[in-house]
Amino acid sequence: MPDSPEVDLDEVYNFALELGQAAGKILDDGWKSRCNGDGDNKTVEKDSAVDIVTQTDEDVEAFIKEKITNRFPSHKFIGEETYGKGSSKEYLIDDDPTWCIDPLDGTVNYTHIFPMFCVSIGFILHGDPVIGVINAPFLHQTFSACRGKGAWLNGTQRLPLLRNPIPPMPVNAPQSCVFACEWGKDRRDRPDGNLYRKVESFVNMAAEVGGREGKGGMVHGVRCLGSATLDLAYCAMGAFDIWWEGGCWEWDVAAGMCLVREAGGLVTTANPPSNVSDAVIEDARPGSRLYLAIRPAGDCARESGREGQERTVREVWRRVRQLDYSRPGA
């Protein structure tokens, strides 16, 4: 697909990188200010931190929106704060140049000052995330990617980190894989609800080989960070082999999807199709709310990197349940 004639990706990428640094600085100042007691620490209950954090969230989004609107007035803007809290959840991304922003991903982590929080800046063209900038200021980690330019950590270290050569997927995946997942917000105690389907899937992935009536995946480790954006960034890095999640929104994943794809990874749907063995493995849409990411993988004698990724997708699909997340217009 041709780019819109008016979009200069280099210009947009440089702008997004600057924006990521500035927005990350606001987040960084925010938690430090709370530590120094020059925030609203007169309210000693930690619950009240939620209000302070919400204010930071809104401030960062307003800051980003203003910068974008000034520089690229013709571009659309979708932000977690302004759009995500509205009553409509219609999927609004079309062919137009669109910014898709989460000013603060990992909000619970930020509230508790656990370092896994970040600002996520995605730029979407013709429906595809083509630029992604993720800044996790407490970790001193900025992830960035632009279509055709690869994915990077702190602008200097190309992703995936292991690339001389890039390791193929393990022959016995999901064994030997680090499996990232999230418990999410849907904690309703309903028979066969999303909570139970997730947990059943986690247990299948974790249990010993031969266990769970053959579904035991014996993954190398199970990780839950509380940030979909950073889950994707660590997939791009090669640190997480598999990320499986349902329920998050396009602003949670737009930048991260660009990262994973530019690094050589794959993002498809979390929900197994009926024909797991031979279904065509399609790219996930940013707004699909159901994601399965596989890290970049190198070729080896037995298969190409892509074949190894697709084999891993099918092995995950054999072990996970369908999740029930829908949206208007999807």
Question: Binding site, residues?
Answer: 80, 102, 104-105, 252
Sequence-distant (6+) residues with CB within 8 A of 188 are 194, 195
From candidates 220, 282, 283, 330, binder to a second copy by CB under 8 A: 220
Q: State the nearest-atom distance from the C-beta of 93 to a second copy, in Å.
A: 28
Measure the CA–CA gap between 142 and 21, rounded to whole angstroms: 8
Kindly state the tokens that stand for 329: 């217009």
Torsion sign across C-alpha atoms 220, 224, 225, 229: positive
From candidates 20, 97, 137, 167, binder to a second copy by CB under 8 A: 167
Report which secondary-structure segment, H or E, holds 216: none
Q: State the nearest-atom distance from the C-beta of 282 to a second copy, in Å.
A: 26
What residues between 85 and 114 interact with a second copy by CB under 8 A?
A: 108-109, 111-114
Tell me: does residue 183 bind a second copy (CB under 8 A): yes
What residues are designated binding site for Mg(2+)?
A: 80, 102, 104-105, 252
User: How many CB atoms sit inside 10 A of residue 7's CB?
Assistant: 16
From candidates 14, 74, 154, 157, binder to a second copy by CB under 8 A: 157
- Which letter does DSSP use for residue 267 in this model? E
From candidates 67, 212, 306, 314, binder to a second copy by CB under 8 A: 212
For residue 233, give the amino acid letter. Answer: A
- Pick from 170, 172, 146, 175: which is nearest to 159 by CA? 146
What residues form DSSP beta bridges with 119? 135
Contact residues for a second copy, defined by CB under 8 A: 31, 34-37, 41, 44-47, 49, 108-109, 111-115, 139-141, 157, 161-165, 167-168, 170-171, 176, 178, 183, 187-189, 195, 199, 202-203, 206-208, 210-212, 216, 218, 220-226, 234, 237-241, 298, 300
